[in-house]
Amino acid sequence: MQGLIMPHTTSDTLLTLNVELGERSYPIHIGAGLLGDPRWLEPYLAGRQVMIVTNETVAPRYLERLRQGLSGDREIREVVLPDGEHTKTLDSVSRIWDALLDAGFNRRCTLVALGGGVIGDMAGFAAACYQRGVAFIQVPTTLLSQVDSSVGGKTGVNHPRGKNMIGAFWQPRAVLIDTDTLKTLPERELSAGLAEVIKYGLIRDAEFLTWLEAHMRELRDLDASALSEAIHRSCALKAAVVAEDETEQGVRALLNLGHTFGHAIEAHQGYGAWLHGEAVGVGMLMAAELSHRLGWLGKDDMARVSAILEAAGLPRTAPQSMATADFLDRMRLDKKNLDSKLRLILLRSLGDACVHDATPQAELDDLLETFPRG
């Protein structure tokens, strides 16, 4: 895994990161103004046929600009899905497959995901399974999807019984991150994206955490340079973890810091009520609190975790309506619970996460009982 900085004329600072996965390696290009420039999209298309997958919110803002990044002889179609986490279903993916088949698209077609994580996950899953796998390019337009879905190859949909239960590992041919798209992102979604950025600092990079504490204001003010730096560093951290462990057998589990609690919150509240990053933010605070009770994090550390979440504009309390039993029921199905043993990601120190499968039930119960609701 290596990142390199390249000079470029489109924007002052274009950053490119190569995600090294052998035959499936791909670049992430990060910068302002990439979207309408054919130099960034054209080289990664598999054939003439291009299916753009986007949603009703993103389409009016960026679909035309994306089309400008495609040369005239392409056969371009699009699927515009409704917006929101509740649309992340097998039915929506079936609509993409229907559109591909209606257009007579073959195995050399390319799917381009234009939107947030929901669009990326669905378009990626559609690509993974269309004629047993076709090319796929990610153009993430939310901070969360830029720092999270860009790396890792996870695709899929939710099931009434659990998040991301149906899916596949499928790598994109390229990821194009145009930081200009964040200008139209609601502030609440920006904060949710920052939760995942903070996560990378917490699990693996104490220095980055300190950098984030110093630059949180600039990030929330959409300073282009700070954003590019934070996205690049987040993607690089994730890419390093994924390159070590592509199919999530070991170290990759650390990326799930806050996710066991967070998924429980999302599922209990109904997908879409809480943003994923908001739920993960509270989940990280719960994991930090448990780490503190196990004697790993000091009081100062806890205060820093809480303060940076606050600075990012994130909630720090669990839903009022969620009882301890609600958490436990939802956590039982979590994918990290191998053969019914509960596994949690905890923090040995700030910047050093670990997999912990020996959390005493009483300790967990007590945390869930006493963690603040709001």
Residues marked as binding?
Answer: 83-88, 117-121, 141-142, 154, 163, 181-184, 196, 259, 276
- 13: burial class by Cβ within 10 Å (0-12, 13-18, 19+)? middle
* CA–CA separation, 4 and 18 (whole Å): 8
Q: Which residue has the tokens 């910047």?
A: 351
Phi, psi of 157 (to 5 degrees): -135, 165
Neighbours of 306 (CB within 10 A): 14
Quick check: 222 binds a copy of itself (CB under 8 A)? no
- 234: burial class by Cβ within 10 Å (0-12, 13-18, 19+)? buried
Quick check: 167 binds a copy of itself (CB under 8 A)? yes
**How far is C-alpha 355 from the chain's CA centre?**
20
Nearer to a copy of itself, 45 or 216 (CB): 45
Nearer to a copy of itself, 163 or 276 (CB): 163
- Taking the complex as a whole, how short is the minimal distance between the CB of residue 290 and a copy of itself, in angstroms? 22
DSSP structural state of residue 82: P
Decide if 20 is catalytic: no
Residues 24-83 that bind a copy of itself (CB under 8 A): 47-49
| Binding residue count for a copy of itself, defined by CB under 8 A | 41
Decide if 18 is catalytic: no
- Known binding-site residue numbers for Zn(2+): 196, 259, 276
- Taking the complex as a whole, how short is the minimal distance between the CB of residue 137 and a copy of itself, in angstroms? 18
Decide if 256 is catalytic: yes
**Which positions from 308 to 347 touch a copy of itself by CB under 8 A, shown as an x/- string?**
------------------------xx-x-xxxx-------
CB 228 within 8 A of CB 180: no
CB 96 within 8 A of CB 69: no
Catalytic residue among 263, 268, 304, 330: 263
Decide if 188 is catalytic: no
Q: At what angle do helices 187-204 and 276-293 cross, to 10 degrees?
A: 30
Quick check: 307 binds a copy of itself (CB under 8 A)? no
**Which positions from 93 to 122 touch a copy of itself by CB under 8 A, shown as an x/- string?**
-x--xx--xx-x-xxx--------------
Q: Which residue has the tokens 């990821």?
A: 175
* CA–CA separation, 327 and 334 (whole Å): 11
Decide if 341 is catalytic: no
Nearest CA-CA partner of 149 in 253, 35, 235: 235
Three-class SS string for 25-53?
Answer: CEEEEEECCCCCCHHHHHHHCCCCEEEEE
Quick check: 156 binds a copy of itself (CB under 8 A)? yes
Nearer to a copy of itself, 320 or 361 (CB): 361
**Which positions from 273 to 292 touch a copy of itself by CB under 8 A, shown as an x/- string?**
--------------------
DSSP structural state of residue 258: T
* CA–CA separation, 93 and 79 (whole Å): 10
Quick check: 169 binds a copy of itself (CB under 8 A)? yes
Footprint of a copy of itself on this chain (CB under 8 A)? Answer: 47-49, 90, 94, 97-98, 101-102, 104, 106-108, 125, 128-133, 154-156, 159, 161-162, 164-169, 247-248, 332-333, 335, 337-340
- Give the residue numbers marked as catalytic: 132, 154, 196, 238, 248, 252, 256, 259, 263, 276
